[in-house]
Amino acid sequence: MIKAEINKYLWIYVLLGFLFSCDKSRESVYGRIEENSLYILEDKELGTIEIYRKGGKSPILTQHAQPNHRPYIHPIVAPDGKGVLTEFSPSHHRHQTGLYWGFTRINGDNELVPEDSLNSWFYNRDFLPGKKGQNRLARSPEKIDRIKKAVGRDYFHNVGDQYWQLDSASVLK
């Protein structure tokens, strides 16, 4: 009888503890979810433009536009404020920086690309670089050179100042 009574009260305490530990507020460091008013802070020294919800302590979106780096947006916070949708340089793809400019190879020479298909030409297994430790150009230096000329500069994997120079970044009101 006493054991059953203890179990009954134990379950009540567990249930009450669970209910009181649930987050009933819809507010986070990003502000109240219901809040539609946003404001923008620009930091020219850091090269960032941040968007905040009214009352928020942390930005829901940050545009990075440093003078010598590929521009990108990170973080992008989920609409409910319970997660960040972007990553900066994750371990599985170090070159990825949040949401970034997507045209990875431009200013190439389209005349060098065969009409049949870029896929069959560019990704043809016969012309992939050698395995780790091998000379990367060993399979077909001529083909590799043609690919480089055809696709142009690789802005995607080269994030530094040899490829990127800030022209301007500003907030329009």
Q: Which amino acid, 41?
A: L
Within a domain: residue 168? yes
- Could you tell me the two tokens for 167? 């022209």
The pLDDT score that the predictor gives to residue 134 is 58
User: Do 116 and 94 sit in the same domain of this protein?
Assistant: no
User: Do 73 and 87 sit in the same domain of this protein?
Assistant: yes
- 27-83 tens-digit pLDDT: 789 999 888 899 999 999 999 999 999 999 999 999 998 888 878 899 999 988 888
For residues 8-13, give the mean pLDDT: 67
Residues contacting residue 130 through CB under 8 Å, at least 6 positions apart: 136, 138, 139
The pLDDT score that the predictor gives to residue 16 is 60
Phi first, then psi: give them for residue 27, nearest 5 degrees. -110, 145
| Structural domain total, the chain | 2
Within a domain: residue 2? no
pLDDT bin (cut points 50, 70, 90) of residue 109 is: low
User: Do 98 and 137 sit in the same domain of this protein?
Assistant: no
Whether the Cβ atoms of residue 30 and residue 80 lie closer than 8 Å to each other: no
The pLDDT score that the predictor gives to residue 160 is 76
The pLDDT score that the predictor gives to residue 15 is 62
Whether the Cβ atoms of residue 30 and residue 77 lie closer than 8 Å to each other: yes
Q: Strand pairing of 61-64 and 153-154? A: unpaired
Domain containing 102 equals 28-106+160-173
User: Do 93 and 165 sit in the same domain of this protein?
Assistant: yes
User: Do 52 and 132 sit in the same domain of this protein?
Assistant: no
User: Do 99 and 48 sit in the same domain of this protein?
Assistant: yes
pLDDT bin (cut points 50, 70, 90) of residue 110 is: low
